[in-house]
Amino acid sequence: MKETKRAKNFFQELVRSRRSIRRYLDKPVDREVILTCIEAARMAPSADNVQPWRFLVIDDPELKARYAKEVFSGIYSITRFAAKASVLILILARLDIIANRIGKQIQNIQFYLLDIGIAGEHIVLQAEELGLGTCWIGWFNIRRARKFLKIPRKYKIVSMLAMGHYEKRPRKEKKRKTLEEIVWFNKIK
């Protein structure tokens, strides 16, 4: 019982400490650390185990700077802070998987988006455990990203993660809805 409580406390603390980081230090992230985070994503569950995720890691500073100039300009400039992160991970989905097509037709749910979300959050939590900050980025010029990186059409660009070292500061607890506001048992109240 003590072991379970300790593990629960560790996970709860990890989840509570994770924040979206928008100010990064100018310090590279070791590729082994990046791969540890990707390995966590690789182990994520997916609908019918299709594992639709693919990850394009941009860690070369020169390439990242040129890429950021393309994808974080104009109406997307609000997310230009991500250019300061040492690593940008473009999260792609391989869509020519029949399970995803059937799921969309029958259930009207794009299961690959659930799968990608789970895998991406595995990256985020692993990075947090390793002392790195991350931020999910959804607001960027996808068309320019595809063109700049020459991404084939068989991959759908879903999201991006900024990752890097950051200055640890005291954090305010964010207001969250109570359990009573978000959970029902056996019927909707």
Confidence of residue 47 (pLDDT cuts 50, 70, 90): confident
Q: Is the dihedral of CA 100, 101, 103, 104 positive or negative?
A: positive
Residue 1 has pLDDT above 60, yes or no: no
Average pLDDT over residues 58-67: 98
With a CB cutoff of 8 Å and minimum separation 6, the contacts of 1 are: none
- For a pLDDT cut of 90, what percent of the chain falls above it? 72
With a CB cutoff of 8 Å and minimum separation 6, the contacts of 185 are: none
With a CB cutoff of 8 Å and minimum separation 6, the contacts of 115 are: 44, 45, 46, 47, 50, 51, 52, 53, 93
CA distance 159 to 161: 7
What pLDDT is recorded for position 17? 86
Pairing between strand 155-164 and 133-137?
antiparallel
Ordered by start, the domain boundaries in the chain are: 20-182
| Mean pLDDT, rounded, of the chain | 91
Average pLDDT over residues 110-119: 92
- Give the three-state DSSP class for 131: coil
What pLDDT is recorded for position 183? 94
What pLDDT is recorded for position 170? 74
Residue 25 has pLDDT above 60, yes or no: yes
What pLDDT is recorded for position 79? 96
pLDDT single digits (tens) 69-113: 999 999 999 999 999 999 999 999 987 666 666 766 777 778 889
CATH code given to domain 20-182: 3.40.109.10
What pLDDT is recorded for position 108? 74
CA distance 135 to 83: 12
Rounded to two decimals, the pTM is 0.89
Average pLDDT over residues 48-62: 95
Residue 140, amino acid: F
pLDDT single digits (tens) 129-167: 999 999 999 999 999 999 999 999 999 999 999 999 998
What pLDDT is recorded for position 159? 97
